[in-house]
């Protein structure tokens, strides 16, 4: 497994080990938040500098269109599948989780590509931002629909009507999330500052990047270990979904990339985005938007199973499949 040679991945493995043996090692929440913001800011700057160099091309348009298409299709398909063995609210919450994306998985994949000398478009950072919100909106619509059905049934039996979650509030939170705004803002700054900006920010956005990523993945390993107990007692079908869904979503992304002749590096990142599951942004919204869903289910599955799978095995697998299918 060549991916395990990467020090950042080894720090993730070490974090999982420390968590499993119940060590008191921990990263203070404020430091963890800073690392997350740093990685998003550095990612946005890198993407902006690359876009300043390449410009807005047909390749950029194809990549962004594929990202939006996947962001709309994956949650719908996920909900349809999950509804067969889960209640409606839990199915909607999981569909949102797996239909959205993991920024850390994406950043780790980007680091993997760079370490293997594979180039990718700077617009892929924008693709990640575009894929964040559609799944949340879809899940809230499904939840409100379920509440309406329950309300109609309840009114028929003399029960009071229930209140619906405000879609306007959800849309506002989705599109003004601080981390997402930082990513897009840093990308715009990178685009406007161009090559001179790249030279000025080199020590910050490039030289420090791998060390910061390793530190953050250590924290993610600790978090993954803490969320593993959430998988106990879950249906074998759910555990299978947490492993098979990323592979299926990545395969769909690869097929679309093959049809549209997307470059290998961009294809790998689209596969990673399609295969990843959100464990920070989406759960934070779902706790308010779909309180009927079980948080230990969607957080435990995404962070305790899918995230480690993608970090340890998935990224390297997607890279090899894309190189094989696209002839690199």
Residues 67, 63: Cα–Cα separation, whole Å: 6
pLDDT confidence of 224, banded at 50, 70, 90? confident
Residue 52: per-residue pLDDT: 80
262-281 residue pLDDT tens: 999 999 999 999 999 988 77
Does residue 154 surpass a pLDDT of 70?
no
CATH of domain 2-13+28-325: 1.20.1530.20
Per-residue pLDDT of 171-212, as tens digits, reads 666 566 667 678 788 888 988 888 888 888 888 887 888 888
Give the DSSP letter string of 150-219: HHHHHHHTTPPPPPPPPHHHHHHHHHS-HHHHHHHHHHHHHHHHHHHHHHHHHIIIIITHHHHHHHHHHH
> Tens digits of per-residue pLDDT, 49-74?
877 877 778 888 898 899 999 999 99
**Would you state the pLDDT for residue 130?**
82
Q: What is the pLDDT of residues 242-266, one digit of tens each?
A: 999 999 999 999 999 999 999 999 9
Cα angle 174, 65, 312 (rounded to 5 degrees) comes to 70
Average pLDDT, the chain: 84
Helix axes 315-325, 103-115, angle to 10 degrees: 60
Determine what percent of the chain is predicted with pLDDT higher than 70: 88
Q: What is the DSSP letter of 162?
A: P
Residue 291: band (very low, low, confident or very high) from pLDDT cuts 50, 70, 90: confident
Give the single-character DSSP code of 131: T
Q: How far apart are CA 130 and CA 168, in angstroms?
A: 18
Question: Of 230, 252, 254, whose CA–CA distance to 306 is shortest?
Answer: 230
Q: What is the CA radius of gyration of the chain?
A: 20
Residue 162 has pLDDT above 60, yes or no: no
Spell out the domain ranges in the chain.
2-13+28-325
pLDDT digits (tens, 9 = 90+) for 94-139: 999 999 988 889 989 998 998 888 998 888 888 888 888 888 888 8
């Amino acid at each position: 497994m060549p991916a395990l040679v990467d020090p950042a991945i080894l720090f993730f493995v070490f974090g999982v080990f420390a968590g499993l043996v119940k060590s008191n090692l921990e990263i203070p929440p404020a430091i963890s938040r800073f690392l997350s913001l740093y990685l998003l800011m550095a990612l946005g700057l890198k993407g902006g500098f690359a876009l300043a160099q390449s410009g807005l091309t047909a390749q950029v348009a194809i990549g962004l269109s594929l990202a939006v298409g996947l962001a709309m299709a994956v949650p719908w398909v996920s909900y349809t599948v999950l509804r067969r063995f889960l209640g409606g609210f839990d199915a909607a919450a999981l569909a949102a989780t797996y239909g959205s994306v993991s920024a850390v998985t994406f950043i780790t994949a980007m680091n993997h590509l760079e370490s293997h000398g594979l180039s990718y478009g700077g617009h892929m950072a924008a693709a990640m931002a575009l894929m964040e919100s559609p799944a949340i909106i879809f899940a809230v619509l499904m939840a409100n629909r379920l509440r309406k059905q329950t309300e109609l049934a309840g009114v028929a039996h003399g029960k009071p009507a229930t209140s619906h979650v405000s879609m306007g509030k959800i849309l506002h939170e989705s599109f003004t999330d601080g981390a997402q705004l930082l990513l897009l803002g840093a990308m715009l700054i990178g685009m406007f500052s161009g090559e001179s900006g790249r030279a000025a920010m080199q020590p910050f956005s490039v030289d420090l990047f791998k060390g910061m990523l390793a530190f953050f993945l250590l924290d993610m390993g600790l978090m993954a270990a803490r969320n593993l107990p959430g998988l106990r007692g879950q249906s074998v079908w759910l555990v299978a979904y947490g492993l098979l869904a990323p592979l299926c979503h990545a395969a769909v992304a690869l097929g679309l990339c093959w049809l549209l002749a997307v470059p290998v590096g961009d294809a790998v990142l689209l596969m990673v985005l399609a295969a990843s599951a959100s464990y920070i942004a989406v759960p934070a919204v779902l706790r308010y938007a779909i309180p009927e869903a079980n948080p230990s289910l969607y957080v435990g599955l995404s962070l305790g199973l899918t995230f480690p799978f993608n970090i340890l095995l998935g990224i390297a697998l997607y890279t090899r499949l894309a190189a094989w299918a696209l002839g690199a």
